[in-house]
Amino acid sequence: MKKLSILLYLSACIGFAQNADEKQLKSVYSTSLINGQSYAWLDHLSNNIGGRLSGSTNAAKAVQYTKSELEKLGLDNVWLQEVMVPKWERGKAEEAYILTNSGKITVPICALGGSVATKSGGIVAEIIEVKGIEDLKALGEGKIKGKIVFYNRPMQPDLISTFEAYGGCVDQRYAGAKEALKFGAVGVVVRSMNLRLDDYPHTGSMGYEDVAVEDRIPAAAISTNGAELLSKQLQKDSKIKFGFTMHCKQYDDVLSHNVIGEIRGSEFPNEIIIVGGHLDSWDLGDGSHDDGAGVVQSMDVLRLIKETGYTPKRTIRVVLFMNEENGLRGGRKYAEIAKEKGEKHVFALESDAGGFTPRGFSFDCSPENFAQVESWKALFKPYLIHYFEKGGSGADIGPLKDDQIVLAGLRPDSQRYFDHHHAANDTFDAVNKRELELGAATMTSLVYLFDKYGTVKKKKIKG
Ligand SMILES: [Zn+2]
């Protein structure tokens, strides 16, 4: 063939492939919006089972439910992977109050996950406000000893990514107690990680690291309205006291499971693509956004692949990880077993940022793979998916990282996520059906493209 006719032939081939991809994406989105299953699954997970804290009866029920639903999809294989997880219980509802000269003002608090209880009858002590861990040193033991430390740095409101704002504050929650006890504090109260002013305290994990059990101090989150009120009262009178009671308890680790299902690849069955979310949640709400949404969307990816009649070349696996919230044991176990078996994972996608309108993905991969992803961007334009950036992926898939794999996270609109995150209002009614289904379709589309075209292999340096 002459040069020109070769060029014409090649561009016709590319055009044909693009057309096929456009058609497949259209079919995926239509099927998800007309005949999606994610919302019905989420309804059951949230309303019939509820909050699924690791080691709880509800978490075990969620394992059985999702396994049996995956079995109904006619996948090639569905199984449970054993994993030992921590078990922590909140116990009776927490109580807290500000003690002023004119009386007691009740404020909403909740124990942070992993905290020790207060002594029976609770703690009452003077309280000192700081804007972060870095303030402790300046105050020193003289001003902190015997008091409760109140961490009150708010999430930065002018950051467009609310996850970035969260990242700028969450050290107070995770490490606030272990740092404050070095200066003799008797407890800590942390402003909830929430951009909105409301009455919901938001829990989340905290750690004491190597602090002996008998030296640990209790840690609670206070609602944003509660934090504002407490700060105002402290400005009026720095000698006011704060009282709180918590009944939480840590138990020995218990056996739990990751839930896994797969469609075997027709051409390269040893190249594995995984899609997942975490099955556990905090206990205050029913974990609809965090991360029931990611769980049901991931399940629907495999269903949508089958429903649209696409035969994957590579093995497509859904993994519902246990214990992301307070241990990441499920993610670590999955990667450990994959390594033991010598499995080759080429692409992993996680949805763990809420069931809101999808905007795109963030990627953790080589420049070559990122260039390939960018070449697919136009295919997503009709669905208003435009965010393709390098950055983090997902906590559960992180342990799979090596120099070949492409890791990605679904990135939905994040403006309302922290209104609900880890709080009692993370419930089914806060999830919109269409937004959830668009997320499932967006994930399925990316999985399809990675399955069809594979990843760009890193060139081996000769010599
Ligand atoms: Zn999550």
The secondary structure of 172-188 as a DSSP string is HHHHHHHHHGGGT-SEE
3-state secondary structure of 127: strand
How do residues 252-285 score in pLDDT, each as one tens digit? 999 999 999 999 999 999 999 999 999 999 999 9
Asked if pLDDT for residue 19 goes beyond 90, the answer is yes
Whether residue 28 has pLDDT greater than 90: yes
Give me the mean pLDDT over the 154-183 stretch: 98
Secondary structure of 265-327 as H, E, C letters: CCCEEEEEEEEEEECCCCCCCCCHHHHHHHHHHHHHHHHHHHHCCCCCCEEEEEEEECCCCCC
- Ligand 1 center to residue 393 CA distance, Å? 12
Both tokens of residue 57? 């009866």
Residue 94 has pLDDT above 80, yes or no: yes
State yes or no: pLDDT of 12 exceeds 70. Answer: no
Dist. CA 121 → ligand 1 center (Å):
33
pLDDT of residue 83 exceeding 70, the answer is yes
The confidence band for 6, taking pLDDT boundaries of 50, 70 and 90, is low
pLDDT band at 232 (very low <50, low <70, confident <90, very high): very high
User: How far, in Å, from the CA of 321 to the mean position of ligand 1?
Assistant: 10
Assigned token pair, 391? 């950055």
Helix axes 170-180, 134-144, angle to 10 degrees: 30
Answer with the residue of higher pLDDT: 163 or 457: 163
Tens digits of per-residue pLDDT, 353-389?
999 999 999 999 999 999 999 999 999 999 999 999 9
Neighbours of 240 (CB within 10 A): 16
How many angstroms does the Cα of residue 279 sit away from the middle of ligand 1?
Answer: 9
Summarised one tens digit per residue, pLDDT across range 52-77 is: 999 999 999 999 999 999 999 999 99
Ligand 1 center–CA 31 separation, angstroms: 26
Active site residue: 324, 325, 350, 437, which one? 324
State in Å: Cα 290 to ligand 1 middle.
5
pLDDT exceeds 60 at position 463:
no
Tell me the CA–centroid distance for residue 299 and ligand 1, in Å. Answer: 16
Which of these, 400, 299, 298, 305, lies nearest to 351 by C-alpha position?
298
Mean pLDDT along residues 31-55: 98
Q: How far apart are CA 50 and CA 44, in angstroms?
A: 8
CB 355 within 8 A of CB 289: yes
Per-residue pLDDT, averaged over 13-32, amounts to 89
pLDDT of residue 2: 58
The span from the CA of 370 to the CA of 455, in Å, is 10
Considering only residues 4 and 75, tell me which one the structure prediction assigns the higher pLDDT.
75
Q: Is 324 a catalytic residue?
A: yes
Q: What is the pLDDT of residue 458?
A: 75
pLDDT recorded at residue 7: 61
* Interval between CA 324 and ligand 1 midpoint (Å): 7
From ligand 1's centre to the CA of 185, what distance in Å? 30
CA–centroid distance, 231 to ligand 1, in Å, is: 30
| CA of 196 relative to ligand 1 center, distance in Å | 19
Averaged pLDDT of the chain? 96
